[in-house]
């Protein structure tokens, strides 16, 4: 088995998610909306996966969180603000569905041939609290992210995709990190400040790893963004 450092894997993951965000544009608004929801759901599914990155002990799902918000920006650019708002609403709707259906599966009484119940219980058992908290914070974060991106777009128009995306993500992800840590983790961690600093630092690395790649490839897409009036 090949060995790669956690840092290398994380950077590859960030670029991988960014690449698929760009690719989703070719499937239209449906493809991008699906990616918004899928990244959000997977980030909650893998939120328990921890590793040491750049000297910090953190969860490893930040690239997915950033990827979901990048897809929202792309929806805004190519299909308008209303389509981006719909994507956020669908993301919340599917998250609620995922919480409910995962718990219904856990409620089945396993038979003697079932050897997977304990594994599913370990993964999906904490889901109502984790996804419930994450849904509330993520919804507020995505609304903030879209609002900021819209304000920057009003100021700069279609130009400066890189700058608009970076600024919107840096601000909204700071809010996300602080809010989620205080609501979900404040009673379980030794130092809230350390968790906020470390988590936000890793998110910043994910942002600066993926956005230049998206910004570069976007120049070669054969799609024409909607006019400002359609937004």
Check pLDDT > 70 for residue 190.
no
Q: 91: Cβ–Cβ under 8 A, 6 or more apart, which residues?
A: 36, 37, 40, 68, 138, 139, 142
Domain boundaries, given as residue ranges, for the chain? 6-230
DSSP class of 60: S
DSSP-assigned states of every residue in 95-115: HHHHHHHHHHHHHSPP-TT--
Handedness of CA 209, 71, 38, 18 (dihedral sign): negative
- Banded pLDDT at 229 (limits 50, 70, 90): very low
Query: Is a pLDDT exceeding 90 seen at residue 175?
Result: yes
Whether the per-residue pLDDT at 230 is higher than 70: the answer is no
pLDDT tens string 5-47? 999 999 999 999 999 999 999 999 999 999 999 998 888 788 7
Residue with tokens 């809230």: 192
């Amino acid at each position: 088995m090949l060995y790669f450092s956690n840092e290398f894997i994380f950077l590859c993951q960030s670029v991988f998610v960014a690449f698929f965000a760009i690719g989703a544009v070719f499937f239209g608004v449906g493809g991008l909306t699906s990616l918004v929801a899928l990244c959000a759901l997977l980030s909650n599914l893998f939120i328990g996966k921890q590793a040491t990155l750049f000297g910090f002990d953190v969860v490893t799902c930040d690239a997915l969180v950033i990827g979901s918000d990048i897809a929202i920006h792309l929806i805004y650019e190519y299909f308008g603000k209303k389509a981006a708002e719909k994507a956020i609403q669908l993301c919340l709707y599917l998250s609620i569905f995922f919480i409910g259906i995962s718990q219904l599966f856990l409620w089945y009484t396993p038979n003697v041939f079932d050897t997977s119940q304990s594994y599913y219980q370990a993964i999906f058992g904490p889901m109502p609290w984790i996804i419930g908290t994450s849904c509330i914070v993520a919804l507020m974060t995505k609304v903030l992210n879209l609002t900021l991106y819209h304000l920057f777009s009003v100021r700069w128009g279609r130009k400066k995709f890189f700058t608009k995306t970076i600024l919107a993500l840096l601000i909204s992800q700071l809010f996300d990190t602080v809010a989620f840590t205080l609501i979900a983790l404040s009673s379980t961690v030794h130092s809230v400040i350390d968790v906020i600093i470390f988590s936000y630092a890793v998110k910043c690395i994910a942002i600066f790893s993926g956005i230049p790649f998206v910004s570069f490839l976007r120049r070669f897409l054969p799609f024409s963004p909607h006019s400002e009036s359609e937004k």
